[in-house]
Chains A and B, each alone.
Chain A
Amino acid sequence: MGTFMILFTFLGGITLSAQSSINGTLSRKTGTIETTFLTFATGTMFLAIFILFFGQGNILALLEAPKWQLSAAFLGTLYLLLTVIAVPRIGVIATNIAGIIGQLVIGIVIDNFGWFNSLVIPLDTKRAFSLLFMIIALYFIYKGNKRSREEIPVQHR
């Protein structure tokens, strides 16, 4: 079961990168805000169907949930909007790797202080080294992208 789940999540990662390139393409003609809006609107429709059939929670409890928990929706929207802006400018892989690094860095910070009731995992040498490798990765992706561009001189935009 475990291996199957790992493969399933791997597939989740694949769909996320496919989503960022598809949205980047659509935004060139439809516009940034319009593309993000469409993604949320269609996602809502699909999830509405899923909830009707498979929902086990209580959607009405939303009204009683603390407001700070509800504010996360702004962050989710920000994520998608910024991704749609970045992909046409720096490409799929640079956007995704930079996004992952931002995610891991903040993840390490949240763990260190135990914000939002999460487990407290202090920043140790191992994690400090991992931050270093992320910076190295970001440097390489920037270099690599610059070189790919120079090899194909005629590029739109």
Chain B
Amino acid sequence: MRYFAYILALLAGAALSFEGAIYGELGKTIGQLETSFYNFFMGSIIMGLLWIFFGKGKLSHTAEAPKWSLLGGLLGVVYLTSIVISVPFVGVGITMVAVIIGQMVMSMIIEHYGWLGSKKLKINKEKIFAVISMIIALVLVN
């Protein structure tokens, strides 16, 4: 089951790459902010349908959940908008490198301290090596 979760995460990234390439084209015709809006709007419809047919959780838990745990949507918007704004200034390559490094460093800090309700998993040698390998890979891609 754990291997399976790694494969799902790999697939998630693959989907994001296809999405980015396709939305780049859509953004040219309808505008960048409009493209983000379209993405979230369609996502709501797709997930709304999935929820109606397959939802097993408790949506009503939202009312009791801590308010900070509901901020995922806003953070997603900040992420998309920051990319859309910065690509024209510094190019796709540098934008992606900056985003990915920010993402890796922050993931490590969040997990090390167990912030935001995530499982507390200490940083170790292997994880640092993983991040260094990723940075080398990023430099080689560009």
| Shortest Cβ distance from residue A24 to the other chain B in the assembled complex, whole angstroms | 6
Cα distance, A15 to B36, chains bound together (Å):
16
Closest chain B residue, CB of each to CB of A146: B126
Q: Is A13 a contact partner of B106 (Cβ separation < 8 A)?
A: yes
Q: Is B70 a contact partner of A148 (Cβ separation < 8 A)?
A: no
Q: Binding site of B, secondary structure by majority: helix, strand, loop or mixed?
A: helix
Cα distance, A99 to B116, chains bound together (Å):
20
B15-46 interface with A by 8 A CB criterion: 15-27, 29-44, 46
| Shortest Cβ distance from residue A135 to the other chain B in the assembled complex, whole angstroms | 9
| Shortest Cβ distance from residue B135 to the other chain A in the assembled complex, whole angstroms | 9
Cα distance, A117 to B1, chains bound together (Å):
38
Asked if A78 CB lies within 8 Å of chain B CBs, one says: yes
Q: Is B13 a contact partner of A133 (Cβ separation < 8 A)?
A: no
Closest chain B residue, CB of each to CB of A107: B17
Q: Is B14 a contact partner of A115 (Cβ separation < 8 A)?
A: no
Contact-residue bracket for chain B? 35 or more
Q: Is B73 a contact partner of A89 (Cβ separation < 8 A)?
A: no
Cα distance, A74 to B122, chains bound together (Å):
35
B residues whose Cβ falls under 8 Å from a Cβ of A: 1-2, 5-6, 8-27, 29-44, 46-48, 50-51, 54-59, 61-62, 65, 68-79, 81-83, 85-86, 89-90, 94-95, 98-108, 110-111, 115-122, 124-127, 129-131, 133-134, 136-141
Q: Is B126 a contact partner of A140 (Cβ separation < 8 A)?
A: yes
| Shortest Cβ distance from residue B17 to the other chain A in the assembled complex, whole angstroms | 4
Report chain B residues within 8 Å CB of A122: none
Question: If A46-B74, A56-B31 touch, does A102 touch B11 (CB 8 Å cutoff)?
Answer: yes
Report chain B residues within 8 Å CB of A134: 133-134, 137
Interface centre among A16, A81, A148 (most CB of B within 10 A): A16
Interface centre among B57, B107, B122 (most CB of A within 10 A): B107
Cα distance, A68 to B29, chains bound together (Å):
14
Report chain B residues within 8 Å CB of A96: 9, 103-104, 107
